């Protein structure tokens, strides 16, 4: 690592890759001014907004003071680990996305259903890796709403939450598969209704409400017998107060997978962009879910979902 001497103090050249928008660094950053003197250009523990990050990257070189060198090296290592995983997970995500797109074109194909389950196994094996960070996967999710990308996003969120809850590999595979297939029944509903811009009419909403049963029927037709997967798919719109559909289940009668999928379903729907609405920020969405939906969603699971994001520093 290169060093320069300034007023008998030692400053170390740093890798600009750590300067990324929407990050908060735990060390000060210095750069040379026009007189070649080092000046403070970033105060630690300050959010790096896009403009600030761009201005820092535009400088020739950036430095950290020796007292904070170890802090910088630790955060650089953490960032690089996340970047490696993000690149890896992007490849996995794109492969699964293409597979899910084909699945929704031909939902009653046993081969496509089997491919979906194999895709989930791949995601789970990566997520269970000891070096995996949830944020590395969440950062590459698609944020424009389409039925197939929504289903994939919900599956990713569900697997990550399941891991946070301590589920084993088999449980995560079943949960992730149920989440990936939860909306497959929408393939039986008129595309104009599914893709409608704005509020549905009462009749249209009643039609859409049939999709969990359609999903259940499709999976039974192709020979899926796993009751955990089937219950997760059929009951992801049940509400803990008993006002959901299709079976008006209440509280503990709702399968845990269905409760998890319900939370991830709502979260992704609110935080993704649609033609008729802008996405809601992560923090505001979680706050809304906790304060306004605790009669519909499982409050203990909402708390764990929020804790997962907090631990990954992804709340913004």
Q: What is the CATH number of the domain that holds 260?
A: 1.10.3210.10
Residues 141 and 86 in one domain: yes
Q: How far is CA 224 from CA 155, 217, 230, 269, in A?
A: 18, 10, 8, 27
Half-sphere exposure of 31 (CA within 13 A, CB side): 15
**89 shares a domain with 56:** no
Pair of tokens at residue 220: 């039974």
Note whether 32 and 96 are same-domain residues: no
Is the separation of the CB atoms in 55 and 16 below 8 Å?
Answer: no
For 29, residues 6+ apart whose C-beta sits below 8 A from its C-beta are 14, 19, 40, 41, 42, 56, 62, 63, 64
Burial of 69 (0-12, 13-18, 19+ CB in 10 A): middle
pTM of the model: 0.73
25: CB partners within 8 A, 6+ apart = 18, 19, 42, 44, 45, 48, 75
Burial zone of 38 (CB within 10 Å; 0-12 exposed, 13-18 middle, 19+ buried): middle
Do residues 180 and 116 touch, judged by C-beta distance below 8 A?
A: yes
Q: What is the CA radius of gyration of the chain?
A: 23
CA angle 297, 236, 222 (to 5 degrees): 170
Q: What is the SS3 assignment for 8?
A: coil
The per-residue pLDDT for 5 is 47
Residues 185 and 246 in one domain: yes
Q: Is 266 a member of any domain?
A: yes
Domain finish residue from 14, 30, 61? 61
Residue 194 lies in a domain: yes
19, 156: one domain: no
Verify that 116 and 236 share a domain, yes or no: yes
Q: Is residue 71 in a domain? A: no
Helix (H/G/I), strand (E/B), else coil: 41: strand
Same domain, 108 and 56: no
Per the structure, the complete domain to which residue 31 belongs is given by: 3-61
Report DSSP state, residue 281. P
Whether residues 198 and 248 fall in one domain:
yes
Instruction: Indicate if 186 and 152 belong to the same structural domain.
Output: yes
Whether residues 185 and 306 share a domain: the answer is yes
Structure tokens at 20: 């990324």
109 and 47 share a domain? no
**How far apart are alpha carbons 213 and 283 in whole angstroms?**
32
Question: Residues 254, 259, 263, CA angle at the centre, nearest 5°?
Answer: 155
DSSP reduced 3-state for 69: helix
pLDDT of the residue at 137: 66
- Residue-wise pLDDT tens for the chain (316 aa)? 444 445 446 889 999 888 987 788 999 999 998 888 899 999 999 988 888 889 999 998 999 999 999 999 988 887 776 776 667 777 777 888 888 888 888 888 888 888 888 989 988 987 887 666 666 666 667 555 666 788 989 999 999 999 999 999 999 999 999 999 999 999 999 988 988 888 899 999 999 999 999 999 999 999 999 999 999 999 999 999 999 999 999 999 999 999 999 999 999 999 888 767 788 888 999 999 999 998 999 999 999 999 998 876 555 4
Residue 226 lies in a domain: yes
On the CB side of 167, how many CA atoms lie within 13 Å of its CA? 22
CB atoms within 10 A of CB 106: 11
Catalytic residue numbers read 186
DSSP-derived secondary structure letter, 187: G
- Answer whether 65's CB lies under 8 Å from 30's CB: yes
For residue 72, being part of any structural domain is answered with no
How many domains are contained in the chain?
Answer: 2
Residues 50 and 183 in one domain: no
Are 221 and 108 contacting, i.e. CB atoms less than 8 angstroms apart?
Answer: yes
Answer whether residue 66 is part of any domain.
Answer: no
The reply to whether 110 falls in a domain is: yes
Confirm if 131 and 78 have CB atoms less than 8 A apart.
no
76 falls within a domain: no
* 179, 229 contact by CB (below 8 A): no
């Amino acid at each position: 690592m290169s060093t320069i001497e300034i007023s008998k103090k030692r400053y170390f050249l740093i890798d600009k890759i750590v300067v990324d928008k929407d990050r908060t660094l735990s060390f000060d950053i210095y750069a040379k001014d026009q007189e070649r003197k080092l000046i403070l250009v970033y105060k630690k523990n300050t959010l790096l907004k896009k403009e600030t990050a761009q201005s820092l990257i535009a400088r020739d070189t950036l430095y950290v003071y020796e007292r904070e060198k170890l802090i910088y090296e630790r955060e650089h290592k953490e960032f690089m680990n996340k970047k490696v995983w993000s690149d890896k997970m992007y490849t996995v995500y794109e492969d699964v996305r293409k597979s899910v797109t084909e699945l929704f074109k031909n939902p009653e194909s046993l081969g496509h259903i089997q491919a979906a389950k194999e895709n989930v196994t791949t995601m789970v094996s990566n997520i269970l890796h000891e070096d995996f960070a949830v944020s590395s996967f969440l950062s590459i999710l698609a944020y424009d709403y389409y039925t197939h990308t929504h289903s994939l996003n919900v599956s990713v969120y569900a697997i990550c939450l399941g891991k946070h809850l301590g589920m084993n590999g088999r449980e995560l595979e079943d949960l992730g598969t149920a989440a990936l297939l939860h909306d497959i029944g929408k393939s039986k509903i008129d595309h104009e209704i599914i893709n409608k811009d704005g509020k549905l009419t009462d009749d249209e909403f009643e039609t859409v409400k049939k999709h969990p049963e359609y999903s259940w029927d499709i999976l039974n037709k192709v020979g899926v017998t796993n009751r955990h997967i089937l219950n997760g798919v059929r009951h992801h719109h049940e509400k803990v107060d008993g006002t959901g559909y299709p079976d008006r289940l209440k509280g503990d009668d709702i399968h845990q997978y269905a409760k998890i999928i319900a939370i991830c379903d709502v979260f992704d729907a609110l935080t993704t962009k649609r033609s008729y609405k802008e996405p809601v920020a992560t923090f505001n969405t979680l706050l809304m879910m906790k304060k306004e939906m605790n009669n519909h969603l499982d409050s203990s699971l909402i708390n764990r979902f929020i804790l997962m994001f907090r631990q990954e520093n992804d709340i913004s």
